[in-house]
Amino acid sequence: MPNLSERFTSTQLAEAITAKRTGMKLSLVDVSEALSISKPTLVKIEKGDTNVQLANLLKVMEYLGLSFSLLSDDATSKEKTEVSDDWY
């Protein structure tokens, strides 16, 4: 059973993107051309550089079928809790 409350670091995110892209047999140029972003920018994203536009990261993730869910450190409990619509 996967640990659903695991935080993701930007490095892990970058690794997951590369893994998903290569698993889909897509080259950097395949993806960069499909999304109209440059290869150096895509390389930055896959290196875990956080000095990139959020919009570019989201385009890449959507194209590869990756998405986020959000976790909130809850001060009142020891566990991190999933943020849902009725959370706030």
Partner DNA sequence: TTTAAAAGTAAATAATAGTTAACTTATATG
Partner DNA sequence: CATATAAGTTAACTATTATTTACTTTTAAA
Task: Convert residues 12-31 into a mask of x (bound to DNA by CB under 7 A) and - (unbound).
Answer: ------x--xx----xxx--
Give the residue from 33, 30, 28 showing the smallest Cα distance to 45. Answer: 28
CB 63, CB 34: distance < 8 Å: yes
Rule CB under 8 A: say whether 34 interacts with a second copy.
no
76 makes contact, choosing from DNA, a second copy, none, with CB < 5 to 8 Å by partner type, with none
Q: How far apart are CA 37 and CA 28, in angstroms?
A: 10
Q: How far apart are CA 45 and CA 13, in angstroms?
A: 9
The option from DNA, a second copy, none interacting with 20 (CB < 5 to 8 A, set by class) reads a second copy
Q: Does 88 bind DNA (CB under 7 A)?
A: no
The CB-of-39 to a second copy minimum distance in angstroms stands at 18
Q: Does position 28 bind a second copy by CB under 8 A?
A: no
Number of neighbouring beta carbons within 10 Å of residue 4: 9
